[in-house]
Structure 1
Amino acid sequence: MAILIRLLLIGLVGLVSEQAAAQTRTMEERLRSVPDSVTVGRLTVVNVFKYQLLAASSSQRAAAATLLADKVYRPYAAVWQQMGQAFGNAFQPAAFTRWNLRLTDSLAAVVQPKLAWLLASNLDSLFGRQLQQLHRTTGRLPAGRWLIFFSPYEQMGLVMGGFDNQAMLVDLSDKRVTSETLQFGFPHELQHMIYYETSTQDPDKDSALYAVLDEGFASYAVYKYYDERVSLDKAIFAKTTPAELAWCLAHEREIFEKAQPYLLAKIDAKNALMCGVRVGNCPKLFAEAPSNLIYFLGFRIIQAYEKKRGRGTWKDVYTKPVREVLAQSGYGQQWQKSRPKK
């Protein structure tokens, strides 16, 4: 009987191992069927995660390292170098290879469910639908690249974003990247790409005001994208909670008045309005304010612009200098009128 049980256990272990191997093969086959990239109009979406995971699951370390170098690192070296400046040495070539090869082990709890979700989702279709709706909303289409990848950290802080229009990035390792993030985040970031192209000649492009309107414009485009049927806390890049929005609305006058001295200043550690959003290690404008304060402020300026100048005029912001947008919005005048006379 003991021999029989032992044989049954050996057979069961063998069966489980075969099933695991078959599942791995199936996952690898499904990964290989994912296109390297998808181009919709002037926008290319690069599935960087495909070769990251194929390399990490390979038992041939040398071949896997070569695959990473050829398919992941070298084609987007400029992006990884900028990532290194922002997030540290993990994006230098040697370190990049090391953590990528350990990716499925070190971040297994994140990678496995996210991969299953990715393979079940039709990202190509999602991008296509969102681009069509964005074109209907704005009359414009973005140009550029999106890189969908896994970083070495569960919460590096990027989520979705970009560097100097080299590429926009989606960090799949971040637990905050969910279907809702894609639902509201993609249109927001696509709008950033359009505005980057249309506003290159703005004389105040390096100012805090430009950053405020850049984030507010992206949020306002999402609001319009959903035909104004989405709540403001969702429109502001799904980053704002109802409580944070309520705080901003309750302190709106104070926000604008405190922000004014910083709006035309450059973006650096001395600019309290930019603290926690575009720069770190600096004094914040409000200690208790949400970090996405400038999204709210920019949104309200553009909302005031459209209210004053007529429906649909929000699209003027694409090509109008930011100083003119603020001046012609009339935003802030409602509080100047209510000031007591001295």
Structure 2
Amino acid sequence: MIQKGFLALIVVLCIGCKAHKKQNTIATIFDKVLLVEDSITVGKMTINNAFKQQILAHKDNQYDSLLILKKVYEPNKYAFDNCLGMIFGDANSPLFQPKGLYEWNRNLLANESVIRKKLAVLDSLNINALFTNHLTAVQKITGHTGEGKWLVYFGPKDFQIFGGCDNNSMILDMFGDSWNTQSINKVFAHELEHLIFGPLMEKDPVGKMGLGITMDEGLAVYFTYIYLKQNREDALYGSETQLLMSREKEIFEKLEPYLFKTNEEGCPIFRHCGRNNDCKPLIEGLSKEVENELCYFMGFRIIEEYVKIHGKNSWKDIYNIPISDFYQKSGYKEYIATK
């Protein structure tokens, strides 16, 4: 028979065990992010891991708003002021200013279960090595150093984004669907390539026209296809890829009139590149994702046809010659005429 005093001691010890276990579990969040570099730089490309400081701001059961200012906002001021604040409109821009950042970061750990799932990615990926390898590979493969800045962070509820505005404000929100072990390689490689081609596109006469954005997105898809050794279906839209191939002539003929027009003049192609919703889609009967990314498909196909004519590694020519020259030398328009 167990004596009452001894039983009471067991209860106390068990309660203590539970409290200790909970304390260690919470500490794991902080221990895990401490292993992540504050930032990773290769050449002129930098990735700021602001999520680390967002978590550490809650260490020891205290909220350090000064850490949010110094380690989250100030190093990424351009992205908060000139990208996030603009994308989500004037009404929401205060969320991305210091006072707004203080407030929603104060309650960040209210999403602790979701944060744990997102941080679990760090268990299967060495994020320091992953980012470093990607930054190195994209520059080595393309032969161009590129320049740009990334912000990796936990954004406010309902304001997720993976992409950005320009080379100084590429953003990966860890609350978004793209932050998982299945897609992070693909999506991150795609966005990194934009940092290489972006500055070249800005100097090109057609860089801001329909052809420019088509080749920009198509090249990012093609680079990922080469880098990750994907097949065409994996690089594009899985089972829907064959549907696009069967409608390729229709897609080109409807979008081709807008290739040399700007956003103001050529809404349809920008609409099918996910850049403008001011006009109706020209091609229907597709999933929303594919409908919004038809120029990705068309740009990819232009590069494929260029490579057929000029050789396996000739896709890199796009970094060295005018975009319109690359397009003409691809023979894509002539190819479509034969279909």
TM-score with structure 1 setting the length: 0.86
Code of the residue aligned with 1:323 in structure 2: it is S
Tell me what 1:43 maps to.
45
Instruction: Determine the C-alpha separation between the residues in 1 that align with 2:124 and 2:52.
Output: 14
Residues 36 and 52 of structure 2 are in contact (CA less than 8 Å); yes or no, is this contact kept in structure 1?
Answer: yes
- By how many angstroms is 1:10 displaced? 4.1
Tell me what 2:281 maps to.
284
Code of the residue aligned with 1:224 in structure 2: it is I
Q: How does 1:1-342 map to 2 (within 5 A)?
A: 8-57=10-59, 59-61=61-63, 64-81=64-81, 82-87=83-88, 88-89=92-93, 90-105=95-110, 107-118=111-122, 121-153=125-157, 156-159=159-162, 161-226=163-228, 229-236=229-236, 240=237, 242-268=238-264, 271-275=267-271, 277-289=274-286, 290=290, 291-337=292-338
Deviation string for 1:123-169 (max 9, x for gaps)? 22113333444345322333222221111236x4523x122211322
Specify whether residues 21 and 169 from structure 1 end up closer, same or farther in structure 2 by C-alpha distance, changes over 3 A only: same
- By how many angstroms is 1:278 displaced? 1.2
Code of the residue aligned with 1:301 in structure 2: it is I
- By how many angstroms is 1:266 displaced? 1.2
Residues 262 and 272 of structure 1 are in contact (CA less than 8 Å); yes or no, is this contact kept in structure 2?
Answer: yes
State the Cα RMSD in Å.
2.5
SS at match of 1:200: helix
Residues 213 and 298 of structure 1 are in contact (CA less than 8 Å); yes or no, is this contact kept in structure 2?
Answer: yes
Code of the residue aligned with 1:315 in structure 2: it is K
- By how many angstroms is 1:287 displaced? 2.9
Q: Which runs of 5+ in 1 are unaligned?
A: none
Please, which moves more after superposition, 88-97 or 171-180? 88-97
TM-score with structure 2 setting the length: 0.87
Residues 253 and 332 of structure 1 are in contact (CA less than 8 Å); yes or no, is this contact kept in structure 2?
Answer: no
Specify whether residues 5 and 216 from structure 1 end up closer, same or farther in structure 2 by C-alpha distance, changes over 3 A only: same
Instruction: Determine the C-alpha separation between the residues in 1 that align with 2:231 and 2:307.
Output: 18
Instruction: Determine the C-alpha separation between the residues in 1 that align with 2:317 and 2:279.
Output: 33
SS at match of 2:172: strand
Residues 28 and 54 of structure 1 are in contact (CA less than 8 Å); yes or no, is this contact kept in structure 2?
Answer: yes
- By how many angstroms is 1:29 displaced? 3.4
Code of the residue aligned with 1:217 in structure 2: it is L
Specify whether residues 7 and 283 from structure 1 end up closer, same or farther in structure 2 by C-alpha distance, changes over 3 A only: farther
Residues 211 and 260 of structure 2 are in contact (CA less than 8 Å); yes or no, is this contact kept in structure 1?
Answer: yes
Residues 204 and 322 of structure 2 are in contact (CA less than 8 Å); yes or no, is this contact kept in structure 1?
Answer: yes
Q: Which runs of 4+ in 1 moved over 6 A?
A: 1-4
Residues 36 and 127 of structure 2 are in contact (CA less than 8 Å); yes or no, is this contact kept in structure 1?
Answer: no
Residues 215 and 298 of structure 1 are in contact (CA less than 8 Å); yes or no, is this contact kept in structure 2?
Answer: yes
Instruction: Determine the C-alpha separation between the residues in 2 that align with 1:165 and 1:263.
Output: 23
Deviation string for 1:18-54 (max 9, x for gaps)? 2211232343234334321122233222111001111
- By how many angstroms is 1:186 displaced? 2.4
SS at match of 1:307: helix
Deviation string for 1:53-100 (max 9, x for gaps)? 112455333xx1111011101221220122021123332332222111
Deviation string for 1:308-333 (max 9, x for gaps)? 23332211111322222222211121
- By how many angstroms is 1:257 displaced? 0.2
Please, which moves more after superposition, 205-214 or 11-20? 11-20
Instruction: Determine the C-alpha separation between the residues in 2 that align with 1:2 and 1:251.
Output: 80
Q: How many residues align?
A: 327
- By how many angstroms is 1:4 displaced? 6.4
| Identity within the alignment, % | 31
Deviation string for 1:224-267 (max 9, x for gaps)? 224xx41223224xxx2x23212211110000000012211212
Residues 42 and 136 of structure 2 are in contact (CA less than 8 Å); yes or no, is this contact kept in structure 1?
Answer: no
Instruction: Determine the C-alpha separation between the residues in 2 that align with 1:133 and 1:79.
Output: 24
Instruction: Determine the C-alpha separation between the residues in 2 that align with 1:48 and 1:269.
Output: 39
Instruction: Determine the C-alpha separation between the residues in 1 that align with 2:157 and 2:4.
Output: 48
Residues 269 and 280 of structure 1 are in contact (CA less than 8 Å); yes or no, is this contact kept in structure 2?
Answer: no
- By how many angstroms is 1:195 displaced? 0.7
Q: Which runs of 5+ in 2 are unaligned?
A: none
Specify whether residues 256 and 120 from structure 1 end up closer, same or farther in structure 2 by C-alpha distance, changes over 3 A only: closer
Residues 219 and 299 of structure 1 are in contact (CA less than 8 Å); yes or no, is this contact kept in structure 2?
Answer: yes
Specify whether residues 109 and 288 from structure 1 end up closer, same or farther in structure 2 by C-alpha distance, changes over 3 A only: farther
Code of the residue aligned with 2:267 in structure 1: it is N
